[in-house]
Amino acid sequence: MTLKFSKMHGIGNDFVVVDCRAQPLALDAAQIAHMGDRHFGIGFDQLLTIEPAQDSTCAFRYGIYNADGSAALQCGNGVRCVVAWLHRAGALSEGAARLESPSGSVGVELLADGRVNVDMGVPRFAPEQIPLRMPASDIYWLQVDDIDIEFGAVSMGNPHAVIEIADVATAPLSTLGRALSADAAFPQGCNVGFTQIVDRAHLRLRVWERGAGATLACGSGACAAVAVLRQRGKLDGDVAVQLPGGTLDIHWDGADAPVWMSGAAEFVFEGEIAL
């Protein structure tokens, strides 16, 4: 069996995109994890499938699988790559459309300069919606690996913990990030973002993603960081979030408004893998 794919990235967050419009993906978690291995497979942070929509209001559906083979609910950088892939395939025109994600429908807009604007939805702060097994609070505290951690928590279609830090260059991604991501307080695990406020319109961010590890960029993580810190009154409505792979532009009016994310989506190569 061989599988054709496109390799893409959104500011360094890299993906394998598979066309499943004619037939569903016939791979199990172990096969996806093998493909995701950067030494023995293709290598990616997430695998994205493009499928027929089940929601009649949406043009297409996309699925998301982490490098370890586990399913994910949302991926901001991945959405942009899906839009760019569909546009190149002649299936989506410039302008606004809706796509169906594992966490619900998503508004997208392909801009004239090739960037993609994505409605990432309204941030959900209630613990039961994240989900988080702690009483509701703007600031949470946990002891992880004998270290006291102060963090914010929000769902952007997937769970996020946001930790404010003085310098993201020193962020303990593989130790504290990994441990908090798997802590029992988050029954579905979480993505852990370490963020540094440069000024009210500029953040620096590094993210440990559940199921993928440290990545060069995380679109939903950028939205989560802005939502948590703007809710605390520390940011304005338009924020440039600088990640190791590049910068995302995030806009949030606050309260019950959706978060909008804009950024690039790039093709790397086309390939075929034997399975």
Question: Are the CB atoms for 180 and 192 separated by under 8 Å?
Answer: yes
Domain extent listing, the chain: 2-121+264-270, 127-257
Q: For residue 43, how far is the Cα from the chain centroid?
A: 17
Note the pTM of the prediction, 2 decimals.
Answer: 0.89
The tens digit of pLDDT for each residue in 18-41 reads: 999 999 999 999 999 999 999 999
The dotted CATH code for 2-121+264-270 is 3.10.310.10
Dig out the tokens for 62 from the structure. 């996309």
Q: What pLDDT is attached to residue 219?
A: 94
| Domain 127-257 grouped into CATH 3.10.310.10 | yes
Q: What pLDDT is attached to residue 1?
A: 81
Q: What pLDDT is attached to residue 203?
A: 98
Q: What pLDDT is attached to residue 145?
A: 85
One fold for both 2-121+264-270 and 127-257? Answer: yes
Max CA distance (Å), the chain: 54
Annotated active-site residue in 75, 81, 190, 223: 75
Annotated active-site residue in 20, 58, 190, 218: 218
Distance CA 57, CA 48 (A): 21
218 is catalytic: yes
What are the angstrom distances between the C-alpha of 238 and each of 4, 147, 218, 221, 262?
A: 39, 33, 18, 16, 11
Q: What pLDDT is attached to residue 80?
A: 96
Q: What pLDDT is attached to residue 95?
A: 87
Distance CA 264, CA 221 (A): 16
Distance CA 11, CA 242 (A): 10
Q: What pLDDT is attached to residue 211?
A: 87
Query: Which positions of the chain have pLDDT values less than 50?
Result: none
Half-sphere exposure of 109 (CA within 13 A, CB side): 12
